[in-house]
Structure 1
Amino acid sequence: MTSTAQKQDVVDLLLRQHEEIKSLFAQVRGATGEQKQQAFQQLVRLLAVHESAEEQVVHPAARDDAGDAVVDARLHEENEAKHVLSQLYDLGVDAPDFDARFAEFEQAVVAHATHEEQEEFPELRRKTDPERLRRMAGAVRAAEAVSPTRPHPSAGESATANMLAGPPVAVFDRMRDAVRDWRQSHRD
């Protein structure tokens, strides 16, 4: 891990990921064919690991700082997003109604990120020791390393559900990803 990453706190890490997510939304919207599929796969992976890590690390800590109502609202949004993302994944980027459904999904995800940035993150920064925020960034990175790479709405949105179901599902997801990537790289 670089010294910059070691100094980065959890809020900075998540804000950077929010920007990356927004960039991937734009890439999917602006692409066609294989490029669109690849950008969508990157977005699916980032959203899956990002939300799983938030549910395991950030939201439990934010309950003390931002309150139950704020965290419960974010968890509800994340659960809805998992269902929609799973549907979009199953639908595929070439489906006739993909773009319209994707645009609605993008609006919901951006609104969710805005809620976190305005309601949850400022309270974390204000009420949490800076060193703890840096350690939380490391915990988020560790959680992301063992998180599923696809949405699994039936797994639930609690930290406990993610810790129990996440690693075995993540192994399966990562094996599927490796096979998919190998097939794509070996097309004639």
Structure 2
Amino acid sequence: MMDRWSAGDATDAERDALWQDIVQLVFSHAFAEETVLWPVLRRTAPDGEELTGQVEEEHQAINELIARVEKAPGDPRRAEWIQQAFTLIRQDIRDEEDELLPRLREAFDDRALRRIGAAWEAVRATAPTHPHPGVPRRPPGNALLGVPLSVFDRLRDLAPGTGPRARRVSLTLTGAAAAAGAVVLLVRSARRRTCA
């Protein structure tokens, strides 16, 4: 998808759609890694802290760059920033495939890797899909903030188009989801007090 975006043979609308698909894939993928894979690697590899710290720095740089792209849709530097993001993403992929994932392979048998992979996939399927540079890169902070951000992002992804109207629709849907979540929490809290 990055190659197709860079080739320049797609229409502006196709390139925008490609970009949105890339952003959604990158952020859900990275969130799942940070929530599931890297904590496991830190516990099992003697140099896991150093390895995951480097990848988390790469993720943060990607996060900040893509946030800049999303906040400035009309900026003439947008294409340059996107290419910089692609370079960082490719480097991140290399580091993970060449360094981190082989360490997990060495530490676990196939059955354990399948369990870790299933947990990764479950988190990825429900992860935020847009940049949030202020969110911590490690659990529990990323997981606690990731849930409401995921709801917000996925509702935003459903809102057609961009611009003020789409943002209003997204914020309205997010507010409704947050209100529903608050009601559920209040009901559970009331039940616990009644049972206690």
TM tier, smaller: 0.7 to 0.9
* Percent identity between the two aligned chains: 28
Deviations 1:17-65 (A, max 9, x none): xxxxxxx211222333100100000001001100000000011111122
Alpha-carbon distance in 2 for matches of 1:28, 1:161 = 33
Deviations 1:128-177 (A, max 9, x none): 12111101111111101221111111112112122101111111111111
- List gaps (5 residues or longer) in structure 2: 167-196
TM-score normalised per structure 2: 0.76
Alpha-carbon distance in 1 for matches of 2:37, 2:161 = 31
Q: CA deviation at 1:181?
A: 6.1
Matched, 1:42 2:47: no
Matched, 1:26 2:7: no
Amino acid corresponding to residue 14 of structure 2 in structure 1: Q
Q: Is contact 1:79–1:156 with CA below 8 Å preserved after alignment?
A: no
- List gaps (5 residues or longer) in structure 1: 1-23
Alpha-carbon distance in 2 for matches of 1:178, 1:101 = 25
Alpha-carbon distance in 1 for matches of 2:114, 2:161 = 33
Alpha-carbon distance in 1 for matches of 2:147, 2:138 = 14
The match for 1:122 is 102
Q: Is contact 1:53–1:144 with CA below 8 Å preserved after alignment?
A: yes
What are the within-5 Å matches in structure 2 for residues 26-175 of structure 1? Answer: 26-30=3-7, 31-63=10-42, 64-65=44-45, 67-92=48-73, 95-175=75-155
Q: CA RMSD in A?
A: 1.9
TM-score normalised per structure 1: 0.79
Worse-superposed segment, 114-123 or 97-106: 97-106
Alpha-carbon distance in 2 for matches of 1:117, 1:163 = 24
Report the number of matched residues: 160
Deviations 1:77-134 (A, max 9, x none): 1111111111112222x53212212112211111111011111111110111211110
